Amino acid sequence: MATTDAEVERVRALVATVPPGRVVTYGDIAAAAGLSTPRTVGWIMRTDSADLPWHRVIGAGGKPAAHLADRQLRLLAAEGVPIREGRVDLRAARFPLP
């Protein structure tokens, strides 16, 4: 099933609400947007997130994508997100979505 423009806009709107110093997971966004899989969120973030705080969206284990890890962790650390051994401390930094 193709991703609709409405789904893309819901994901974008949710990502835009995540404040500095906080993070959400791909699964958090998928659930809040009514999507069936976090992979759809990943696809949207890869293709349409240049103007969003993309670095605040991470994997469920608190680990960033391998190809973005250094940059993403550096950006998150600059915002005060607690990071331990290359992982975000989700208990401390996770942002509750509506």
> Roughly how many angstroms between the first and final C-alpha of the chain, as a whole number?
25
Beta bridge partners of 94: 23
pLDDT band at residue 54, thresholds of 50, 70 and 90? Answer: very high
Distance CA 34, CA 18 (A): 17
pTM value is 0.94
| R_g of the chain, CA atoms, integer Å | 13
Distance CA 98, CA 64 (A): 23
- Is pLDDT of 45 > 80? yes
The confidence score (pLDDT) of residue 43 equals 93
- Is pLDDT of 74 > 80? yes
pLDDT band at residue 77, thresholds of 50, 70 and 90? Answer: very high
